[in-house]
Structure 1
Amino acid sequence: MTYKLSSAIGGAAIAIAAALPASAQEADLPRSMLWSTYDVGSSGYVEASAIADAFGKEFDTRVRIMPSGTSIGRLLPLKTGRVQYGWLANEVYFATEALYDFEAQEWGPQDLRVVAGRPSTFGMAIATDSGIKSIADIRGKRVPRIKANPSINIKVEAMLAFAGLTWEDVEVVEVPSYGAALRAVVDGQADVAGTTPTAATLYELEGSSRGLSWARLPKDNAEGWEAISKVASFFAPATATGGAGISEDKPAEIFAVRYPMITVYAETEEQEVYNFIKALDAAFGIYKDATPAMPSWALADAGTTPQDAPFHPGAIRYLKEIGVWTDDDQAWNDARLARMDKVQAAWEQATETAMDQNVSSKDWPAFWAEKRDEMLN
């Protein structure tokens, strides 16, 4: 599935959403809800706040938001039932795959489901004076890798894979933060960086002597996209027409990711999720202009695959009713569910083996990584 994202994004989708059958009278929400989000000031927090305000106006539902700057801080309240919905990012994928923070024995693969997820874009920003013209040209060049930020690093890894490259093929520049990665390109300490096109630092790069361009990820390169999908299943081709160094006349062929994703556990009652997504749709006219990104919450965009986890049955039921859910979406969802079953089975088998072999908690992460690779890859 390919996304066309621009300043006029979702125009057609908005028209579709306006014609959809949901109504305030049909949606049945509780009087109060609690949601977890990224920390205050993040786009996820702002967007959740706008939709919470719309729910208050349309349904008289009071929503409190619990912000956190860590993936565990956002997901733990959802796991324990303290919050009903998490507005999450790639921790959804990592949690379902038992990676990084979630490889700990007290976590393991989480049985998460997506209700809806806004499409966003991400690409490889290039300092034009580096001479890089394509992903393949990044071989031997300086690429930032951000400490303790697997969400960004996995995207860079996927883009490198598009040209058959890995971290071993580039000169890794270790940086402490996402902002530092972009600053390294501006300051001449790196040649490229993975980023969203609207990051403020990119406009500085665009206006500098280094210049800014974007590495192409053309959607018709089947081999390249197959390599991306082997890194993670939640990427899709996208054509961006807005952002630093990008315009309608100079679009960028990059990829689409989802952020934020409204997330629940699989055990969440189907009717509850059905009512929530129906309310999300019914209130769209209230919140769609709250930020430039909000039009992308139209379900014709936010209710499609791929996402970082399968859709919840309650969401699928509503998406089918309004004609958004397709056979391709169902096929992707079925494959993602099958993958999660394999991961969960691998975790159970590895756990039993670890008990038999008296593997310590300290040694478990390395043990799980080895067993995970054997059983899944």
Structure 2
Amino acid sequence: MAGSNASLGVQLDNPPADGVTALRFSTNSDLLLASSWDGMARLYDPLRNSLRGSYSHQAPVLDTCFQDDSIIYTAGLDCLVKRYDFFGRMESIIGGHNKPVRCLEVLRDSGVVVSGSWDSTLRLWDPRLPQGQNCVALIGLPGKVFTMSAVGTRLVVGTSGRHVLVYDIRGLSSGSPEQQRPEQHRESSLKYQMRCIRCFPDGTGFALSSVEGRVAIEYFDQSEAVQAKKYAFKCHRKSEGGKDVVYPVNTMAFHPVFGTFVTGGCDGVVNIWDGKNQKRLFQIANYPTSIAAAAFSRDGTHLAVASSYTYEMGEREHPGDSIFVREMNEVEVKPKPRKAS
């Protein structure tokens, strides 16, 4: 075993060699998928600390996701979206963009794969169709795709220029321009470049993080009463020499049972938040370097954290990449009831 620290979790053997870009737990098992700048997607059994398999995309991988425990999709700097079957050891190119592909999502109900690119487009792919005929939608966006998240019938896309677009998934592959228009087009309530969007598990809204150590809580319902609940808060900052040092919030992940969420920042800290009661529940500090990605397991009992320098301070000596998997205690992630006033 590479090592463990009770507070940080178990450090996985065979970590990525360069820049972790995404972590995803399977929704069917405890398998964990990691993508990285070394051009690889790695499949771990984290509870046994074993590497089950690896796949070379042959270019830096910027995102990856499961279709099922055997089949994954990868996307990267070579502008391609690829499909790989770990059991059958079969690779296929699904399609491509004109610029690097930053984000991927599999839409479970339809089996369609969505890719978001720095070419300012979303493309929807049906992997059951032959290559060349499988792009079932091409949607222009107002900027480069930085982050993306899906829940229920909604897909939320964050782009450069602080644009946030909310789509009804059911209309995206219809071929109808009317149905492919965003249901909502918002400007980010955070003043600086966004890093991560993650939808609430209950489908009522999403959290948005920025490079300037802030998180915004947003709701889909446009009614005045619901919009009055939205708010933003500061996090991942500390005072050094009388100055407030602010760290980018690179990643977020929602607990699938309790709806609480974690934020991971360039300060090497993971915070766990109760969004409804607007308070921090727990903190896991002193990871070796920036938190690049985080993910909860399907039942929320484990949290995977990628400690991986994200070059927020430019080229410099930094710790190697590592992935920690931490068993979570319920008290750390369960909302605490409000005290009677």
TM-score range, shorter chain: under 0.3
TM-score normalized by the length of structure 2: 0.28
**Per residue, is there more helix in 1 or in 2?**
1
**Per residue, is there more strand in 1 or in 2?**
2
